[in-house]
Amino acid sequence: MREAALGVGASALQTQFHHVLPLALPGMLTGAIIGMARALGETAPLLMIGMIAFIVDIPSGFMDSATVLPVQIFLWADSPERGFVERTSAAIIVLLAFLFLMNLAAVLLRRKFERRW
């Protein structure tokens, strides 16, 4: 595509913005979304590097400090109290739903921006 665009007289900048970037955009978006979804689901690396950031207080606002959901699930699953079973299950369902939505967004964005030649 690059050589064809340059061959018909497009400048290098036009080639990048009108041909190369639109063809690469679906793969770039999909990779970024799937990478973020995998990072959200990975608990073991967070725990291995020592990121135990248990925040006792429930955040009251959007900018308050909070812990990462996989770490919170790990801590709740490790608690001996019976009430944490429901919290752990609910947090796992929220995490799975978010991961499903991220993968669905990746598929939809790929279909929307994909060009068929």
Answer left, alpha or beta for residue 50, where phi above 0 means left and psi between -120 and 50 means alpha: left
State the pLDDT at residue 41.
Answer: 66
pTM: 0.61
Distances from the Cα of 99 to the Cαs of 23, 31, 88, 113, in angstroms?
A: 26, 14, 16, 21
What is the domain range of residue 60? 2-113
For 47-93, the pLDDT digits (tens) are 666 665 555 566 677 787 767 777 777 777 877 788 888 888 888 89
Based on the structure, what is the number of domains in the chain? Answer: 1
